[in-house]
Chain A
Amino acid sequence: MSPLLGEVIPVTSKLGYPLLTFLVFLPAMGAVVAMFVPARRPELTRAVGYVTSVATFGMALFLLTQFDTNPLKPGFQLFEDHSWIGALGVRWTLGVDGISLFMVALSALLFPVALLASANISKPKSFTIWMLLLESAMIGVFLALDAMVFFIFFEFVLVPMYFLIAGWGHDNRRYAAMKFFLFTMAGSAFLFAGILSVAFMRQHSTHVLTFDVRALTDWAAAHIHGGTAKVLFVAFAVGFAVKVPLFPFHTWLPDAHTDAPTAGSVVLAGVMLKIGAYGFLRFAIPFFPQAAVDLAPLLLVLAVVGITYGAIVAAMQPNLKRIIAYSSVAHLGFVVLGVFALTNQGISGGLFTMLSHGLTTGALFLLVGMLYDRRHTYELSEFRGIWKVAPVFGGLFVAATFASIGLPGFSGFVGEFLSLLGAFLTSRWYVVVASTGVILAAVYLLWAVQRAFTGEPDDANRATPDIGAREIVTVLPLLGLSLFLGFYPKPVLDRLQPSVEALIHHVELNSDYKAPTVPPAPVAAPEQGTGK
């Protein structure tokens, strides 16, 4: 049995009740309740939305406390397994490990925040319903251990997101929503073909049809080789690369981000993009370790191109929200760079950047949304001297900008540093180019801040009201958490590491790849000898 799966896991969770299933269905149940609230009672719908999403967040916190940090147990925890569609071999299998744990927590955190930020939205009933359905699907994506259940959630996510963009977005929303849906669906067609191929290849040799990720991982890593593995890896990679999005599959993202409502952008950037990177770590790399190693240079190139291209294009944008959208392309480039470095530091850094990007970009989108509420535009040229008239807002915006740039002290620094460090061990020259992205990020974001927030406010900007209490409540937790993790990333890294180690060990076992160990400095620690 491969190290990815850990020891033999009991069929039911140790809690005695299915915590993960509750976590998936609680928001959906809230959505059902919201359906029965009459449309003329918007405050009730909102209450349902808040209560459900906060309760889900509470449950996610409980999950964090229940998660076993024992480094010797890298496998899935709180495992659940029930039959669902027997004829097609699909089972309701859920579990959580270090890789998915913080994605679930991040989703659970961002949804209440996004709902609170949309307190004044039109048609609150349908908005709340779609948001809660989206939350269910999103948490399901990260918890599913059955590839088909994963795919079902992966695909279902599109529907609520489509309606959120098309229903509550800005001027070009219909185009943006359609483009988003079709791009992702086209990508997932390849993913779907990939999943089915692996499952049926396994069935032909073992006569058992299952979509269980662990069984497929074991079998695929050991039995699919050479060209077949490469083709299938590419099929998976296309599906995930559209979602991440990796250059050149990213063109849907600026449109979707810019035209989505604030809550949509927060969720889109905060968690939805991470599904792609998560998919690489959960499916593409463990299924086809050798192909992943062989094709890593290709993905590293795309990541580096994404980092620099995203940064350069962001610098040229006249639209503040579009700048942040393109900064996501660059940030996710760092994630992919770290992941395909295939080193402990790299993957941990990638995962940490995912978490950090969710917090900081979420905060930035919230703040830009507030700016839009006040001024009804995202055009940079329309803003001037906002800091003078709204000092608290300006301060928070600058703080969020620093967090996003990855200033030391914020979580972004830890993530990007680890990614670059990890990648430096295996692919030095990519890092040299990617490092320019760190500087470029400072250039475009600070330049934007300078143009919008400094100077003397003109007449149009003079009456901009400062940030309100509700708005502070939405932003502050995200920034505070980013700051906390920037100073003390240990709790997160401790939980990530065992699973990341196991993944790298799995890749080493099933390919000719050997993860580099950091050569110890010969003078400082001679007694540690050569790398283990």
Chain B
Amino acid sequence: MSITTPRAPRLTRAPTAPSTSVRVLIVKIAALAIVDAISLYALFIVFAQRDWIVFAAIVVVTVIVNVVYFSKRFLPAKYLVPGVIFLVMFQVFIIGYTAYIAFTNYGTGHNSTREDATAALIGSSQERVEDSPAYGLTVVESLGTYSFLVTDPDGDVSIGNADNPLSPVDNATIEGKVAVGIPGYNTLNFSQIVAAQEAIAGLTVQISDDPNDGALRTPDGSSAFVYRSNLVYDEAAATMTNSTTGVVYSDTGVGAFTANNGEELLPGWKIEIGFDNFARAFGDESIRGPLFSVALWTFTFAFLSVATTFLLGLFLAVVFNDRRMRGRRVYRVMMILPYAFPAFLSALVWAGMLNRDFGFVNQVLFGGADIPWLTNEWLAKVSIILVNLWLGFPYMFLVCTGALQSIPDELQEAAVVDGATPWAVFRFIKMPLLLVSIAPLLISSFAFNFNNFNLIYMLTNGGPRDVSAGVNVGATDILISMVYKVAFVGAGRDYGLASAFSIIIFVLVGVIAAVSFRATKSLEELN
């Protein structure tokens, strides 16, 4: 309000306004120039890779940004666009992408296209062709990529690398009868070859576009030999034939070359498999069982977490909400400490304290007892609830204290005058008012604990493991830690199945969200 008073002086300063707006304009143009330069650079790279969807996405985003910031209109958009871009890409898009992955067989052995799988299969089964001629070889490097500059036995020179098959060149420097250099590439000397030994030994350069022609590899960095696969790829029939055994593997639509007896050649490739992952999740007994028990435990855990922390927090808030009590601040700081301590560390510290053989709880508190706190199915669940109580009660204590203090004193004074007992005051006046303000926090606390990955994973690692389950899952795993384990822990990663589990969680969370929004609305009407 007070800003309106010095209006006259401001008006006299009006002539300076244009210069500031020019400065702002320059900053704006500079910032947009940087954005445009980056996206142009990105467009070049994407264009080279022929990735048209990404190309279109970058074009659209760049155009939107430029239009929004150059035009005088779209004022709200100027403030919303940056956040929304990140939101759309890393929050909205990934949800859709999860749904897509749930309908594929994406995972170990199925993570690329059929072309890549074909090349990988041929590459991994290569053997040196007996008594093939030696090619003169010079290893050259350009922009960090190694290439083979080869002189074939007839004296023709060509160059190729891991991604590009050999193509003839005519501007190479010839020394003796072997090409030793070519413009645009650095020739590696002996010590450089030794330094990059592994990369060079692993390099295979196809002789032509047809993988069946074989590829060049080098054992020593100075001569190359033809390697050919014992798998022969027939592009027209899309089959793979093992030339030693004669077995024909064909693409039967399961995402891998499959022989008649069902034997699969891995790696295969990614295909869309419809509802197979969901059918597995709900149909396969070895997965359905664990999935249901994990879901049940997730709900139990989230509910008990909220209930225990809330009750303890509320109790403490009531106990310490007394002005006559001294030292309340000290207690308060002490009790906030667990909340201030990073949660992932708390779980790890408790995991140490609850260790069966060496932990403090067994060794000192229970005098050397042998209690399997984290390794027994039921005790592990109890331990998790207890540790979560330690982690969570300070939060509930804080918010309950705040809520209690915001209840006007007159209300209870009136009630006391009317003859209400203290318990009645608490039960019928304070509690309902408290719940109105705390209920939304209880729901978000429930939602948080529903996905409280850190606690579970760091304290028990989801264990003890359920050995009968068809997936890597344990007695204390919650849904999100199950997703993580199926997707990222162990040798067989199954992104498709994990995403199907994720979709199940999305649906559950959506239901909780819908119900809770209704519940809180009705609670607010109380007020």
Q: Do A and B bind each other?
A: no
Which B residues lie at the A interface, using CB under 8 A? none
